[in-house]
């Protein structure tokens, strides 16, 4: 019986360990990385301001101005959360996306920074 319990415990351990739990920190391009790139580009950032990111099923977000153009960035927990956000608000699927981040803006400069930041 002990051997059977040990085998079950080992199988459960492997299943839990192999579960795909993608988090924003698993990606190289995070909200922090994006904000650093925009700050370096001269964006007017007030860290106390946040977009209503919950409305698009995002876990976090930022809102700021770059050359007087409004920029919103949404960070999603995972691809499922992003897909749910697009399902709830279809226009979200038209915004540029990079990993688990989406940018909403009319600024070509902001989109360029978003797409090329490291």
Mean pLDDT by 10 residues, the chain (118 residues): 46 44 63 94 87 87 94 96 94 96 97 95
Q: Which two tokens stand for residue 105?
A: 């803006």
CB-based contacts of 45, cutoff 8 Å, min separation 6 = 35, 38, 39, 62, 64
Which residues does 42 contact at the CB level (< 8 Å), separation at least 6? 66, 67
Structure tokens at 3: 């051997």
Instruction: Give the per-residue pLDDT at 1.
Output: 54
pTM metric for this prediction? 0.75
What pLDDT does residue 3 have?
A: 52
pLDDT at 47: 82
Other CB atoms within a 10 A radius of the CB of residue 57 amount to: 20
């Amino acid at each position: 019986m002990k051997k059977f319990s040990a085998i079950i415990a080992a199988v459960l351990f492997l299943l839990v360990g192999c579960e795909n739990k993608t988090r924003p920190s698993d990606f190289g391009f995070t909200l922090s990385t994006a904000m650093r790139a925009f700050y370096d580009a001269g964006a007017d950032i007030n860290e106390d301001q946040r977009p209503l990111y919950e409305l698009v099923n995002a876990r976090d977000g930022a809102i700021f101005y770059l050359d007087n153009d409004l920029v919103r960035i949404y960070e999603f927990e995972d691809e499922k959360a992003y897909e749910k956000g697009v399902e709830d608000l279809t226009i979200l699927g038209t915004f540029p996306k990079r990993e688990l981040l989406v940018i909403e803006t009319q600024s070509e400069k902001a989109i360029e920074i978003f797409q090329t930041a490291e």
